[in-house]
């Protein structure tokens, strides 16, 4: 692991996981999990509580939307389909969790 001095100089380091490498889909699933927690669809992993926070859920969806636009044309067909499907599903869950 990098020391504080290395991080201060802006050097990067890689965290290795024993079970599998972190790929783009894993990153997307992490964001999706966060969105679902903020929508109250999924319990918080540490506390076990279920809370709804529309503002935080919206922030995660906005971040994913921005990431989708910035990665358009740079993903595999499979990643493109997965990302589009994930965003659609999360947006529908948001509308269900926070009806107007």
| Structure confidence at residue 2 (pLDDT) | 46
Residue 79 phi/psi, 5-degree rounding, is -65, -40
Tell whether 39 is covered by a domain.
Answer: yes
Tell whether 29 is covered by a domain.
Answer: yes
Tell whether 83 is covered by a domain.
Answer: yes
Residue 43 contacts by C-beta under 8 Å, 6 or more apart in sequence?
A: 37, 49, 50
Rounded CA-CA distance 23/20 in Å is 9
Question: Which pLDDT tens digit goes with each residue over 51-90?
Answer: 999 999 999 999 999 999 999 999 999 999 999 999 999 9
Tell whether 53 is covered by a domain.
Answer: yes
Query: Which pTM was predicted?
Result: 0.76
Statement: residue 96 has pLDDT above 90? yes
Tell whether 12 is covered by a domain.
Answer: no
Question: Which pLDDT tens digit goes with each residue over 3-29?
Answer: 454 444 445 445 555 566 788 999 999
Give the count of domains, the chain: 1
Residue 7 contacts by C-beta under 8 Å, 6 or more apart in sequence?
A: 13
């Amino acid at each position: 692991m990098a020391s504080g001095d290395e991080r201060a100089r802006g050097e990067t380091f890689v965290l290795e996981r024993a079970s599998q490498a972190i790929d783009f889909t894993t990153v997307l699933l992490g964001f999706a999990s966060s969105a679902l927690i903020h929508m109250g669809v999924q319990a918080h992993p540490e506390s076990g509580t279920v809370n709804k926070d529309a503002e935080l859920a919206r922030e995660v969806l906005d971040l994913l939307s921005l990431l989708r636009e910035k990665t358009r044309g740079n993903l595999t067909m499979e990643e493109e389909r997965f990302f589009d499907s994930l965003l659609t599903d999360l947006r529908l869950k948001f509308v269900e969790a926070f009806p107007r």
